C-alpha cells in the first residue's frame, strides 16, 4: 500500500532497509481502445507486482492531447480507461491511480526539465520521427516535447522501476539522461529509474500486419483486440489474422505473424514458446486459431464483465481518481519544493 508516499519524496536513504518496497510508476494514454497489447505489455505486469511494490499509476490525459481529441470523447476515454484498469486488477487499496492533469506538478516539472533537455535528443526519438513524418513544420510541439513530460511523470515520485512495453524503452533512456544531467547540474535530486520490460508480451504486433505493433490509434479495427470487443468479434479477428506461409505452428524470424500469435497464446496461458509449439505439433493453423481465440475470450471475459459494471458507476471511478490525485499531489509537492529550491526559483524563503 502506498501510505508513505510524501515522506519518500525527500528520503531516498532507505533503499537498503529490509522492508524497502520498490517505487513503481507507469502511465497510459486515454486515447483509442484499451487493447490486448496494453494489457500484456504493461497493465498485467502492473497488477502482478502490486503487492510487493509501492505502485503509482497514471492516466496521462495531457499526453493524449497529442492526438487532438474531441473534449467530450476524451472525458469518455478517461472513464473507459480507468474502468479497464480497475477491472484488470489495479486494486485502489494497493496502489495510487489518478489522472495526470489533476496533479499540476507534472506540467510544472516538465517545464523545468526543458532546461536540461536538448532539442537534438527530442528530435532523435523514434516516436517523434514516426509522428512527424511528412508534416514538415506543421508538426505539433506536443509531439516533440512529449518525452520530457513522460520523464517528469516518472521522476516526480522517486520512481525506481517503470513497467512498460518495448516501445517505451527509448523514452526511459532519455529520462535517465535527464536525471544524470539534472543531478550533475543541481545536486542529487532525482532517483535513477529503470525500465522493466518483460521478455513475454512486450511487443504485441497487429493481427493484420505483424510488422506493425498493435496500436490504440490504428484506424484498422482488425489490427487489434480491444477490451470492448465481444467474444464473437474476438473470434472473427483471430480467424482472419494473417499467418505465414508453411503449415507448422512454430515461431521464428521468418514467421512474424505466427510468432506474434504464439506469443499471445503463451502470455495468456502461461506457456513458453517451445511449450506452445509442442502443444500444437501436427495441428493445423485453423486448430491453433480456434484454440487461441478461446484462450483470449476466456481471459478477457471476466475483465470485460467487471469493466461494464464499473463504467456505469462514474461516481465511484471519480472518487478513486480523486483520492489517488490527492495522495499523489502530496508526494509531488514535497518533491517540487526540493526541485524549486535546487534550481533557485521562487521568492526568497
Ligand atoms: P501508451 O498509452 O501508448 O501504452 C500504454 C502501455 O502499453 C504498452 N503497449 C504495448 N505493449 C506491448 N505491445 C503493444 N503493442 C503495446 N502497445 C502499447 C506501452 O509500452 C505502455 O507501457 N508514453 C506512454 C505513456 C506514459 C508513460 C509515462 C509510461 C506517459 N508517462 C510514464 C510510463 C511512465 C504511452 O504513450 O503509452
* Predicted pLDDT at 348: 87
| Rg, the chain, Cα only | 21
Domain region containing 251: 221-309
Question: Which residue carries 519544493 as its cell?
Answer: 337
Instruction: Report the separation in Å between the CA atom of 314 and the middle of ligand 1, taken as the mean of its atom positions.
Output: 24
* Predicted pLDDT at 14: 46
Residue 155 CA to residue 159 CA, distance in Å, equals 6
Residue pLDDT, tens place only, 65-86: 998 999 999 999 999 999 999 9
Mark whether 311 is an active-site residue.
no
Minimum mean pLDDT range among 11-20, 127-136, 163-172: 11-20
CB 227 within 8 A of CB 32: no
* Predicted pLDDT at 216: 83
Closest-lying ligand 1 atom to the alpha carbon of residue 28:
2
Give the CA diameter of the chain. Answer: 76
91/164 same-domain check: yes
Catalytic: which of 131, 237, 311, 335? Answer: 131
Residue pLDDT, tens place only, 104-158: 999 999 999 999 999 999 999 999 999 999 988 899 999 999 999 999 999 999 9
11/124 same-domain check: yes
* Predicted pLDDT at 218: 86
> What's 104's domain CATH number?
3.40.50.620
Q: How confident is the model at residue 283 (pLDDT cuts 50, 70, 90)?
A: very high
DSSP state of 25: E
Instruction: Output the pTM of the full model.
Output: 0.94
The number of distinct structural domains making up the chain is 2
Residue 214 CA to residue 35 CA, distance in Å, equals 8
Cell of 285: 493453423
CB 210 within 8 A of CB 256: yes
Q: How confident is the model at residue 18 (pLDDT cuts 50, 70, 90)?
A: low
Q: Residue 63: inside a domain, yes or no?
A: yes
- Is 169 a residue whose pLDDT tops 80? yes
Cell of 228: 470492448
> What's 254's domain CATH number?
1.10.240.10
- Residue in 8, 345, 51, 53 with CA at minimum distance from that of residue 156: 8
Our mutation pick for probing the ligand 1 site, out of 58, 168, 200, 202, counting the most ligand atoms within 8 A of Cβ, is 168
Amino acid at each position: 500500500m502506498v501510505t508513505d508516499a510524501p515522506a519518500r519524496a525527500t528520503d531516498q536513504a532507505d533503499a537498503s532497509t529490509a522492508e524497502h518496497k520498490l517505487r513503481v510508476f507507469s502511465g497510459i494514454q486515454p486515447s483509442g481502445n484499451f487493447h490486448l497489447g496494453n494489457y500484456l505489455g504493461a497493465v498485467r505486469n502492473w497488477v502482478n507486482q502490486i503487492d510487493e511494490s509501492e505502485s503509482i499509476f497514471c492516466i496521462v490525459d495531457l499526453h493524449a492531447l497529442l492526438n487532438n481529441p474531441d473534449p467530450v470523447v476524451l472525458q469518455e476515454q478517461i472513464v473507459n480507461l480507468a474502468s479497464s484498469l480497475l477491472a484488470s486488477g489495479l486494486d485502489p487499496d494497493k496502489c495510487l491511480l489518478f489522472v495526470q492533469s489533476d496533479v499540476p506538478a507534472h506540467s510544472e516539472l516538465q517545464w523545468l526539465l526543458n532546461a536540461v533537455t536538448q532539442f537534438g535528443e527530442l528530435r532523435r526519438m523514434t516516436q517523434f520521427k514516426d509522428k512527424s513524418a511528412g508534416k514538415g513544420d506543421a508538426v505539433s510541439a506536443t509531439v516533440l516535447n512529449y518525452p520530457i513530460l513522460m520523464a517528469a511523470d516518472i521522476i516526480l515520485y522517486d520512481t525506481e522501476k517503470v513497467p512498460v512495453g518495448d516501445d517505451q524503452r527509448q523514452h526511459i533512456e532519455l529520462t535517465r539522461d535527464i536525471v544524470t544531467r539534472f543531478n550533475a547540474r543541481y545536486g542529487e535530486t532525482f532517483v535513477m529509474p529503470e525500465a522493466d520490460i518483460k521478455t513475454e508480451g512486450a511487443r504485441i504486433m497487429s493481427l493484420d500486419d505483424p510488422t506493425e505493433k498493435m496500436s490504440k490509434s490504428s484506424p484498422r479495427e482488425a489490427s487489434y483486440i480491444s477490451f470492448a470487443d465481444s467474444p464473437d468479434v474476438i473470434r472473427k479477428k483471430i480467424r482472419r489474422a494473417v499467418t505465414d506461409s508453411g503449415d507448422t505452428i512454430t515461431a521464428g524470424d521468418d514467421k512474424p505473424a505466427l510468432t506474434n500469435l504464439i506469443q499471445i497464446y503463451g502470455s495468456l496461458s502461461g506457456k513458453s514458446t517451445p511449450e506452445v509449439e509442442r502443444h500444437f505439433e501436427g495441428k493445423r493453423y485453423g486448430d491453433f486459431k480456434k484454440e487461441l481465440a478461446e484462450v483470449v475470450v476466456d481471459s478477457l471475459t471476466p475483465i470485460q464483465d467487471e469493466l461494464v459494471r464499473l463504467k456505469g458507476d462514474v461516481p465511484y471511478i471519480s472518487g478513486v481518481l480523486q483520492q489517488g490525485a490527492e495522495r499523489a499531489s502530496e508526494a509531488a509537492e514535497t518533491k517540487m519544493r526540493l526541485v524549486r529550491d535546487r534550481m533557485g526559483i521562487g521568492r526568497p524563503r
